[in-house]
Amino acid sequence: MTFDDLFDIDDIEDNNDVRPGPWWRHALWTVGVTAFGVGLGWAGASSSIGESEFGLPAVAPGPFGEYLVAWTVIGLLTAGVLRATAARVLVHIPGQLAAVLLLVGTRLSLGWRPEAPMLAAMGAACVAVAAIWSAFALRGAVKAARQRAERQRVRDEDAARTAAADGGAAAVRDEDAVGRP
């Protein structure tokens, strides 16, 4: 075993968190993470710890159903982007990232009740963070594939050189064997 074998990316990828599988499993994961994140945000907004002047206010008076629906849709998009990427390449903590983004967004929306343009901007920022996180994961997967291909090319060249060296020596041995009785 060599030093390079200790840090071989091929071994790491055998134990990675790529999540291939049927579409219904991805959809169920997306719905579950969305419900968890929005639910935690709603629960956090429903109870206030301390005075509201020192932190986030509790749920503002008035109907809040449209905010929960908006963050559910935003959450499905956010978790869907992360899960779609995780189905193909290694993505670090996709569930935790989506849940935290949804928790914070829902909590802020229920506490301050932003207007529709601000709510849309918050949602766009949430989906953009998920897209950027996925882009970094895809970039890392492309880089790892290039490194694997380069290592395989070097191994193939070494094997060809070894075979050529062994083949030449075997040919010499065969010629010697023919000349002897």
**pLDDT tens, 34-78?**
999 999 999 988 876 656 666 666 777 778 899 999 999 999 999
**Does position 17 have pLDDT exceeding 80, yes or no?**
no
The reported pLDDT for the residue numbered 100 is 96
The mean pLDDT value for 90-103 works out to: 94
pTM over cut 0.75: no
**Does position 143 have pLDDT exceeding 90, yes or no?**
no
The DSSP result for the chain, as a single string, is: --HHHHT-HHHHHHT-------HHHHHHHHHHHHHHHHHHHHHHHHS--S-GGGS---SPSS--HHHHHHHHHHHHHHHHHHHHHHTTS--SSHHHHHHHHHHHHHHHHHHH---HHHHHHHHHHHHHHHHHHHHHHHHHHHHHHHHHHHHHHHHHHHHHHHHHHHHHHHHHHHHHHHH--
The reported pLDDT for the residue numbered 44 is 87
